[in-house]
Structure 1
Amino acid sequence: MAGESGEDELERSLRYSIREGAAQSVMLGFGEYYLSPYAVALRATGFQVGVLSSLPRLLGALSQLGSSRVLKLVGARKPIITTTTLLQALMWLPILCVMLLDDNRVWYLIFFAVIYHSLGGFQQPVWTSLIGDIVPKGCRGKYFGKRNCVTGLTSFLSIVLAGLLLDHFTELHMVYGFIPLFLVAFYARLVSNIYMKKIYEPPYKPKPGADFSFLAFLARMGKTNYGLFVLYLSLMSFAVQIAAPYFVVYMLEDLGFTYLEYMVVTSSAAITSFLSMTLWGNYTDLFGNKTILRLTGLLIPLIPILWLVSSSVPYLIAVQAFSGFIWAGFNLSAFNFIFDTTSPEKRARCVAYYNVLNGLAIFSGAMFGGALLRLEPVFWSRIHLLFMVSGVSRFLVSLSLLSKIREVREVDKLTGAQLVWRIFAVEPVRGLRYLMVAFRNHNRNNKNRKP
C-alpha cells in the first residue's frame, strides 16, 4: 500500500507540474512576452530594447551561482522555489507602475526586469534538480513533450488574447493597454505558486565530493561531454542573440506592423511548437537527444536568413511556423540532454554553471548586435545585417561543435537523412491518413444515425 500511495503521489505531482507550467505560461504570454513592446510603447530606443532583452537575463544567470550554496544550506528545494516565485509575481506591480514616471522610465523598467529575471534565474537550477528527480528516466521525452505541448498551447492562447486586447487601444493610449496584461501575469504567477506547493519533493541528499567550483568547471569544459554541450549551447545563444532582440523593433518600427500583425506573426511559432512537442518527445526517447539536436541545430541557421526574403505577413507567418517547429525539437532535446549527462547530486550546480555561461552569451550577443546597428546601413533596414551575421554565426557554431557531442543513452540508430525523411515525409503522410480515417468514420457515423 505504501508503494501504491507513493506512486499516486508521484503521478499527482507530475500532473501538478503540468498545471504549474500552464499557469507560468499565462504569465509569460501576458507579461514577459510583451516587455519589449511595452518598452517600445514607452519610447525606448533600439539600444534600450537590446539592453532590456539581454542585461536582465545576464544578471538572472549570474544569480544562479549562489543557488547551489543556498540549496545546500536550506536542504530542501520547494521552499526556495515557492519563495522566489512569490517575489517574482510581486515584481509585476512595479513593472506596471513605471508608466507613471516621466524621466528615465525605460531604465526603471530595465531595473525591475533585472530583479524579476534574477528571481526566476535563481530558482531554475533548483527546479531542474527537483523535476529531474520526480520524472522517470524512461519517459522524459514523452512527459516533457506533453508538458511543453500544454504550456505551449497556453502560451499561444495568452499571446493571442493579450495581442487582441492591445489592438483595441489607440496609439495615443497604447501604454494603458499593458495594465490588464501585467495584472493577469501577476495573478497567473500566484496560481503557479499554488500548484508548486502541491508537488511532492523527494528528500534532497547531496553526496560528499559533489561540489566543484565554477573555475574547475571551466578548466574541464572542453574535455567532458557535458562541457562541450554547454559550450555549444552558449555559442549558439550568442549567435542567436545577435538578431533576436531586434525582431520586435524590425516588425513594429521598420515594417510598421500593428500589434495584431505582430501577435499573429510571432504566435505562429508557438502554434507549431506545441503541436510538434509530442512528436519531438517520442523521437528523443527513440533515437536520442543528440540526433534531434544535430538535425535542428543545422536547420536553425536558416531562420534569420529567411527573414531577408520578404516582409509580407503571410510569408513571415510561414517562416515563424517553421521556426517554432525547429526550435521545439532543439529546446526539448537540449533540455533532456542535461538530465542524461548530469548526476542528480550535481545537477543543480551543473545547470547553474550552464545558465551563467548562457546568460553571458545572450548579453554579449545582444550587445554585439547593438554595435552592428550603429554601422552605416548596408540594406534598407540596418537590422538585415544582423539577420545575415546571426545566420552565418549559427551555422559555423553547429558545424564546428555538434560532431564532438556524444549520445549517452542506448538508442535506435538513425542517420540524418533518415530522420529528415521520417519527419518531413512519413509523419505528414501518417497525419493525413489519420485525418482521412477520422473523416471517413465521422461520415459513416452520420449516415448510420437514425433521423
Structure 2
Amino acid sequence: MTNKLSHIFECSDHITEKQYRTSRALFILDGCASTQIFTVTSGAFLSGLAYLVGAGTALTGIIAALPTLMNTIQIFSSVVYENRAGSKRITVEFALIQRLCLLMMLFVPTLMLGARISVAVIAVLYSCAHFCGAFINTGANNWLISLVKKERLGRYLGLKDSMTLVASTGGSLILSKILDAYRFADQEILGFRIIGILCIGICVVDITCLTLIREPENVKHVEPLNIRKAIQMPLTDQNYRNILIFFLLWSVASNFASPFFSIYMLENLGLSYFYITVMNMVASVARIAAANLWGKAADSYSWRLVTLGSIFMLGVAYIGWGLLTKENCIYWLPVVQAVSGVAWGGINIATFRMQFAFAPLEHRVSYVSFCSTMVGFVGFFSSMLGSTFVALAKDIRILNIPVDNIQMVFILSAFGIIASALYSRKIKEK
C-alpha cells in the first residue's frame, strides 16, 4: 500500500498526451468540486454561521479577514516550492487538511459549546484552512501550468474559470435554498449540518481528482533560494518598489470594507441566502463578460488605462454600497453588483499583469510571493481597523442625515480606492 501511494505522488517525465488531457480535465473537476466547499464557508454563509454561534458584527468581520492575513505565508511557501523537485504530494496533503478544517466549521453549532468557545473554534479552523490554502497556492498554480502548453494556457484557464463559475453558481443556488428552508423554520443549525454532510461527499470527489492528476518532472534551482534573498530582491529593485507602494495603498483601501458586504446584506438589509447568492451571480457573470473587453482595451490602448478605469469604477461601486438601504436594495443592489463585477473583470487582469510585468523572469515567483505577503499583512490590519470602526462608531451623520456605521465604512473605503487608482498613474508603462 505504501509503495502504491508513493508511486501516485511521484513526478514523471514520461507522461502521454492522453494523460496530460486527463489531468487537465481533472483539474477542472477539482475546481468545480472545491468551489462548493469554499462557497459555503465564506461570504454570507460564513457570516450566518458566525452570527449563529454568537459572534457580533465586528468579530465576524475579523474572522472574514483571516484569509487575507494567511496570505503572508506565501513568502515562505515560495522558498519551499522552488527548492523541491515536485509539488504534488505537499499540495494534495495540505489541500486535504484545508478542506477538512472548512467542513468541520459547519458542524460547530451542532456541538453546543457556548458562544465564546464556538467562535474561537470557528476562528481557529478558518485560520488553519486558509493557512494551508495560502501555503499551497503558488505550488498548485505552478503544477497546473506545467500541464498546459503555453499557446493554449489562456484558452484553458478561460474554460476552467467558466466551468468553475457555472458549478459555483449552480451549487450556491441549491445550497442557499436548502439553508434558507431551515433558517425560516428556525432550524438553521440543522441546515448547516445538512450542507456539511453533502460537502463531505464533494470533498471525497475533490481530493480523488487531485490525487489522480499527473505531475511532470520539475527542476530545482541550481542556487537554493532562501528567505533573506526572497525579501531582499524586490525591496532593492527600484522599479518594483513603485508596484509595492501601489498594492499596499490598494490593499488598505479595499480591505477596510471587504469583510462587511455579506454581513450588511444578511443582517442590515435582511436578505435571504438565496437572494444574496443570486446577486453574487450577477457580479460573477458581469465580471466574466467584462474581462474580455478589458483585455482587448489593454492590448489596443494601455494596461495602465485599464488599471485606472477599473479601480476607479470599483470606487464608484463602493459609494453605491454606502447608499444601500432596506427600502432601495431590491432595485439598487443588482446595479451595484453589476458595476462591481465589471470593475473586478478589469482589476483582475490589470493587477495580475502588473505584478508579473515588473518582476524579472528568473525570480517571478519570489517577487510575486513577496508582494502577496505584504498585501496580505497590510490588508488584514486594514480589515481589523474597519472592524474597530464598526464597533466604536455611533450616531454618524452626514449633512444631518443619519448614516449606518457599515455604510460609512463603504464610503471611506471608496475614497481610498479612488486615491489608489489615481496613484497608479505614476507607474510608467513597461
Q: Does 1:376 align with 2:386?
A: no
Q: Does 1:266 align with 2:266?
A: no
Question: Match of 2:130?
Answer: 117
Letter in 2 for 1:119: C
343, 368, 372: which one pairs with 1:355?
372
Mark the CA change 1:273 to 1:9 in structure 2 (over 3 Å): closer, same or farther.
Answer: same
Q: Does 1:97 align with 2:111?
A: no
Query: Deviations 1:44-73 (Å, cap 9, x if unpaired)?
Result: 111211110113431x22332332343255
Question: Match of 2:216?
Answer: 202
Question: Match of 2:143?
Answer: 130
Letter in 2 for 1:224: N
Letter in 1 for 2:405: R
* Cα distance, 1:159 vs structure 2: 2.0
Letter in 2 for 1:84: F
* Cα distance, 1:79 vs structure 2: 1.1
Letter in 1 for 2:387: G
Q: Does 1:224 align with 2:242?
A: no
* Cα distance, 1:394 vs structure 2: 0.4
Question: Match of 1:413?
Answer: none
| Conservation of the 8 A alpha-carbon contact between 2:83 and 2:224 | no
Mark the CA change 1:75 to 1:286 in structure 2 (over 3 Å): closer, same or farther.
Answer: farther
Unaligned runs of 5+ in 2: 1-12, 397-401
Inter-partner Cα distance in structure 1 for 2:152 and 2:292 = 12
Inter-partner Cα distance in structure 2 for 1:251 and 1:195 = 35
SS for the counterpart of 1:371 is helix
Mark the CA change 1:81 to 1:285 in structure 2 (over 3 Å): closer, same or farther.
Answer: farther
* Cα distance, 1:180 vs structure 2: 2.5
* Cα distance, 1:304 vs structure 2: 0.8
Inter-partner Cα distance in structure 2 for 1:152 and 1:197 = 23
68, 73, 82: which one pairs with 1:57?
68
Question: Match of 1:86?
Answer: 96
Mark the CA change 1:305 to 1:258 in structure 2 (over 3 Å): closer, same or farther.
Answer: same
Q: How does 1:49-448 map to 2 (within 5 A)?
A: 49-58=60-69, 60-72=70-82, 74-99=84-109, 100=111, 101-104=113-116, 105-171=118-184, 172-209=186-223, 211=225, 213=228, 214-217=230-233, 219-220=235-236, 223-225=238-240, 227-277=241-291, 279=293, 290-311=304-325, 312-342=329-359, 346-373=363-390, 374-378=392-396, 379-404=402-427, 406-407=429-430
TM-score after normalising by structure 1: 0.79
SS for the counterpart of 1:307 is helix
23, 28, 41: which one pairs with 1:31?
41
Letter in 2 for 1:193: I
Mark the CA change 1:202 to 1:384 in structure 2 (over 3 Å): closer, same or farther.
Answer: same
| Conservation of the 8 A alpha-carbon contact between 1:293 and 1:333 | yes
Inter-partner Cα distance in structure 2 for 1:130 and 1:326 = 29
Letter in 2 for 1:20: D
Inter-partner Cα distance in structure 1 for 2:299 and 2:206 = 28
* Cα distance, 1:367 vs structure 2: 1.2
Mark the CA change 1:253 to 1:31 in structure 2 (over 3 Å): closer, same or farther.
Answer: closer
Inter-partner Cα distance in structure 2 for 1:403 and 1:151 = 36
* Cα distance, 1:338 vs structure 2: 4.6
Letter in 1 for 2:314: I
Inter-partner Cα distance in structure 2 for 1:358 and 1:8 = 40
Query: Deviations 1:66-106 (Å, cap 9, x if unpaired)?
Result: 32343255421111111111111221343123211214111
Aligned residues: 402
* Cα distance, 1:299 vs structure 2: 1.5
* Cα distance, 1:187 vs structure 2: 3.5
| Conservation of the 8 A alpha-carbon contact between 2:284 and 2:341 | yes
* Cα distance, 1:288 vs structure 2: 7.0
Tell me whether 383-392 or 128-137 shows the greater mean CA deviation.
128-137
Inter-partner Cα distance in structure 2 for 1:294 and 1:190 = 43
SS for the counterpart of 1:31 is coil
Query: Deviations 1:208-245 (Å, cap 9, x if unpaired)?
Result: 34736354145326x134x5334433431221111121
Inter-partner Cα distance in structure 2 for 1:338 and 1:143 = 21
Inter-partner Cα distance in structure 1 for 2:426 and 2:153 = 24
| Conservation of the 8 A alpha-carbon contact between 2:37 and 2:103 | no
* Cα distance, 1:146 vs structure 2: 2.7
Inter-partner Cα distance in structure 2 for 1:160 and 1:51 = 26
* Cα distance, 1:391 vs structure 2: 0.4
| Conservation of the 8 A alpha-carbon contact between 2:94 and 2:136 | yes
Inter-partner Cα distance in structure 1 for 2:317 and 2:147 = 35
SS for the counterpart of 1:393 is helix
Question: Match of 1:447?
Answer: none
Inter-partner Cα distance in structure 1 for 2:295 and 2:177 = 31
Inter-partner Cα distance in structure 1 for 2:330 and 2:49 = 22
Percent identity of paired positions between Structure 1 and Structure 2: 22
| Conservation of the 8 A alpha-carbon contact between 2:83 and 2:220 | no
SS for the counterpart of 1:207 is coil
Mark the CA change 1:377 to 1:28 in structure 2 (over 3 Å): closer, same or farther.
Answer: same
Mark the CA change 1:351 to 1:294 in structure 2 (over 3 Å): closer, same or farther.
Answer: same
| Conservation of the 8 A alpha-carbon contact between 2:307 and 2:421 | no
| Conservation of the 8 A alpha-carbon contact between 1:160 and 1:267 | no
